Amino acid sequence: MRYDIVIVGGGPSGMSAALYALRENKKVLIIEKESFGGQIATSPRLENYPSIEKISGLEFADNLFSQINNLGVDFELDEVLEIVKLEEKKFLIKTNFKQYEAGAVIIANGVKHRTLNLPNEEKLIGHGISYCATCDGPFYKGEEVNIIGDANSALQYALMLESYCPKVNMYCLFDHLFGDEILQNKVLNSEKIFINYNMSLIEYIGENNLQGLVFKNTKTGEIIKINTNNVFIAIGQISDNKRFENIIKLDQGYILTNNNMETSLKGVFACGDTIKKDIRQVINACSEGSISAINAVKYLNQ
Ligand SMILES: Cc1cc2nc3c(=O)[nH]c(=O)nc-3n(C[C@H](O)[C@H](O)[C@H](O)COP(=O)(O)OP(=O)(O)OC[C@H]3O[C@@H](n4cnc5c(N)ncnc54)[C@H](O)[C@@H]3O)c2cc1C
């Protein structure tokens, strides 16, 4: 099937790109491998998007999806595996199940969760180990819960979980918190959130279900074991662009773009968390999405 623009990823940047391209009457397909909304859909609260005082990440994502759906976007739930340039303004996008043709491509595939790479980790995801407190937190309503991490995602998870869990334990690698001061203050002032500093998670206990966690105190060397059926991992994100390194230039795994969101290959644009940059926030992702679409439309109309 032939599209003017195929967008890889349905997070804030991909959906914003679609919004701008659709308003220019382009035929647009978004291919999303998991669920529309990307990372922000896993966040309990978004409080730093201009003009929206407070909204859940999921509602923000739903609103954006509905906006582009009303404009006639096509979408597929599938994973993009490869992009091939056939000729000028003719790209082949290969997914798990199909192939699509496009005049231009916008890569908006974001980042993926950083894992600890401990034995059993893969096996216990969904069986006690979670990367999303918004999605899985309610399973532990009324229970004591555990979070690994010390920055914004971990702080937001802690503040959400404390609303329905009696005790939230945060385990931090260093001796202080990172992230926005406003969130740090809320966490530090909470009577339900307990912070354990200098703790490195070294082992998951459990074969089929999580039964405990083993930590090493990085200052004293002490080994501490806790019995628990849950842990939320919020230790940041990493890029996932290896599949594109044969066609576009990367730097430390992130896609290199210029101010127009053009990559090193004409006709391929990139936006959002996947590009090489310093600030990874929804507002930037949306802005870059719009820039990539405006320039993709220009490229197609040339
Ligand atoms: C818990 C949490 C809380 C946050 N809180 C805030 C906040 O309060 N304020 C703020 O501004 N930012 C926040 N952020 C950051 C913000 O969510 C990101 O900056 C933003 O989502 C980036 O958007 P994106 O579209 O570039 O990428 P993503 O949101 O990562 O979306 C990329 C999408 O592409 C899909 N995808 C990936 N690879 C493929 C492929 N090969 N084929 C098809 N689809 C693919 C993914 O499934 C995903 O849906 C938070 C992030 C997290 C994790």
Query: What are the residue boundaries of the structural domains of the chain, listed by start?
Result: 2-111+239-301, 121-233
Distance 227 CA to ligand 1 centre (A): 32
Alpha-carbon distance 174 to 219, whole Å?
A: 9
Backbone phi and psi for residue 135, each to the nearest 5 degrees, phi listed first: -75, -45
Alpha-carbon distance 121 to 117, whole Å?
A: 7
Dihedral of CA atoms 180, 185, 188, 190 in degrees, nearest 10, equals -120
Closest residue by Cα to atom 35, ligand 1, is 9
Distance 236 CA to ligand 1 centre (A): 12
**Is-above-0.85 flag for pTM?**
yes
Does domain 121-233 fall under CATH 3.30.70.100? My reply is no
Distance 231 CA to ligand 1 centre (A): 21
Give the distance, in angstroms, between the CA of residue 178 and the centroid of all CA atoms in the same chain: 19
Distance 14 CA to ligand 1 centre (A): 10
Q: Is 120 exposed, middle or buried (0-12, 13-18, 19+ CB in 10 A)?
A: middle
The pLDDT tens digits along the chain (302 residues) read: 899 999 999 999 999 999 999 999 999 999 999 999 999 998 888 889 999 999 999 999 999 999 999 999 999 999 999 999 999 999 999 999 999 999 999 999 999 999 999 999 989 998 999 999 988 999 999 999 999 999 999 999 999 999 999 999 999 999 999 999 999 999 999 999 999 999 999 999 999 999 999 999 999 999 999 999 999 999 999 999 999 999 999 999 999 999 999 999 999 999 999 999 988 999 999 999 999 999 999 999 99
- Output b/e per residue, 206-221; b: 16+ Cβ within 10 A: beeebeebebbeeeee
Same fold, 2-111+239-301 and 121-233: yes
Alpha-carbon distance 146 to 232, whole Å?
A: 6
Backbone phi and psi for residue 193, each to the nearest 5 degrees, phi listed first: -100, 125
Question: Pocket residues for ligand 1 (CB within 6 Å)?
Answer: 8-14, 31-34, 38-40, 42-43, 46, 48, 79-80, 108-111, 153, 156, 240, 272-273, 280-283, 285
Nearest atom within ligand 1 for CA of residue 40: 17
Other CB atoms within a 10 A radius of the CB of residue 123 amount to 15
Alpha-carbon distance 31 to 28, whole Å?
A: 10
CATH superfamily, with its number, for domain 2-111+239-301: FAD/NAD(P)-binding domain (3.50.50.60)
Nearest atom within ligand 1 for CA of residue 113: 53
